């Protein structure tokens, strides 16, 4: 059966690819962007800034007036900030948390009343493998994804009674615009210079990362299959991370080695 699907951050990367696949499969897709006029898409692209509640309200109302329901919401919009934690200003930390964590909550505050009323729905939150383990130079990003991970696990208990599925999709690093758009530290501290160079040289981000299609395939499945799992990891280290989490000292050694620190 065709579904009505809202996917935030559909102007590029995972969001755009997933929205295209869902649209081609015949679903009614509403993607979002802060600047929809700057992008051409086959699916409908609504204006939404997940940090701005009135824009969320307007977009959700548009969908409800035209289709009457939202079957699936994919909280995908996100930003990356790179650099050692001490170099980040409090305002920059707020910006990341407001987008990656509070943004999803704001969207759900507007979508869940419609799903509860319909006694049916699905929430898919895009977190990250960096939401499971600490990642050098991505501390605030990692914190925002840990927050969304914990939030979503609790949500799954609370929404089951309303027949609303809750799904976490946790990708490793894939080549999307997120690395080009990432913003860097605002207060450079020279003591971190050597550390930053080492981590940057060893990192598999940006051009070295794999193409994002497998993540869009997983999001497509999560949105359309009848009984999705809560936890869905994908990426080169996806299978080994839960095992390493059982042995924190080994996890630390492996992480240090892979980041050359």
Which positions are annotated as active-site residues? Answer: 141
Three-state DSSP class for residue 154: helix
Least separation in angstroms between residue 108's CB and ligand NAP is 14
Counting residues that bind ligand NAP (by CB under 6 A) gives 29
**What is the C-alpha to C-alpha distance for residues 208 and 224, in angstroms, rounded to an integer?**
31
Least separation in angstroms between residue 249's CB and ligand NAP is 25
Single out the residue of 4, 18, 76, 185 in contact with ligand NAP (rule: CB under 6 A). Answer: 76
Q: Are 216 and 14 in contact (CB under 8 A)?
A: yes
Residues facing 231 on adjacent strands: 168
DSSP state of 210: P
Closest CA to 4 of 78, 82, 59: 59
Q: Are 129 and 237 in contact (CB under 8 A)?
A: yes
Residue 83 binds ligand NAP, judged by CB under 6 A: no
Q: Mask 18-57, x = binds ligand NAP (CB under 6 A)?
A: ---------------xxx------------xxxx------
Q: Are 19 and 73 in contact (CB under 8 A)?
A: no
**What is the C-alpha to C-alpha distance for residues 179 and 112, in angstroms, rounded to an integer?**
31
Single out the residue of 3, 5, 13, 122 in contact with ligand NAP (rule: CB under 6 A). Answer: 13
Three-state DSSP class for residue 234: strand
Stretch binding ligand NAP (CB under 6 A), from 12-20, 86-94, 222-230, 237-245: 12-20
133-149: burial string, b at 16+ Cβ within 10 Å, e else: bebbbbbbbbbbbbbbb
Single out the residue of 43, 101, 174, 259 in contact with ligand NAP (rule: CB under 6 A). Answer: 174
Residue found under tokens 């042995």: 247
Stretch binding ligand NAP (CB under 6 A), from 61-69, 85-93, 105-113, 173-181: 173-181
Taking CB atoms, the residue at the shortest distance from ligand NAP is 13
Residue 221 binds ligand NAP, judged by CB under 6 A: no
Q: Which residues contact 150 (CB under 8 A, 6 or more apart)?
A: none
Residue 126 binds ligand NAP, judged by CB under 6 A: yes
Q: Mask 94-113, x = binds ligand NAP (CB under 6 A)?
A: -----x--------------
**CB-nearer residue toward ligand NAP: 5 or 191:** 5
Three-state DSSP class for residue 47: strand
Residue 178 binds ligand NAP, judged by CB under 6 A: yes
Interface positions with ligand NAP (CB under 6 A)? 8-15, 33-35, 48-51, 76-79, 99, 126, 128, 171, 173-174, 176-178, 181
């Amino acid at each position: 059966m065709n579904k009505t699907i809202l996917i935030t951050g559909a102007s590029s990367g995972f969001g755009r690819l997933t929205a295209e696949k869902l649209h081609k499969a015949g679903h009614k897709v509403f993607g979002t962007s802060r600047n929809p006029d700057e992008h051409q898409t086959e699916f409908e692209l609504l204006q939404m800034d997940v940090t701005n509640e009135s824009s969320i309200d307007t977009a959700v109302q548009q969908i409800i007036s035209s289709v009457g329901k939202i079957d699936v919401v994919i909280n995908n919009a996100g930003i990356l900030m790179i650099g050692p934690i001490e170099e980040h200003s409090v305002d920059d930390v707020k910006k990341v948390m407001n987008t990656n964590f509070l943004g999803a909550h704001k969207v759900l505050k507007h979508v869940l009343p419609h799903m509860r009323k319909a006694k049916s729905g699905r929430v898919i939150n895009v977190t990250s493998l960096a939401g499971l383990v600490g990642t050098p130079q991505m501390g605030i990003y990692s914190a925002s994804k840990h927050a969304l991970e914990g939030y979503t696990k609790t949500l799954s208990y609370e929404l089951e009674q309303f027949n609303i599925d809750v799904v976490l999709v946790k990708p490793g690093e894939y080549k999307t615009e997120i690395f080009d758009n990432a913003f860097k530290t605002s207060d450079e501290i020279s003591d971190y210079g050597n550390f930053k160079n080492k981590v940057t040289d060893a990192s598999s981000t940006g051009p070295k990362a794999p193409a994002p299609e497998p993540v869009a395939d997983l999001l497509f499945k999560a949105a359309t299959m009848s009984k999705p799992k809560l936890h869905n990891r994908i990426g080169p280290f996806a299978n080994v991370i839960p095992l390493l989490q059982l042995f924190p000292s080994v996890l630390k050694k492996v992480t240090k080695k892979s980041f050359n620190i």
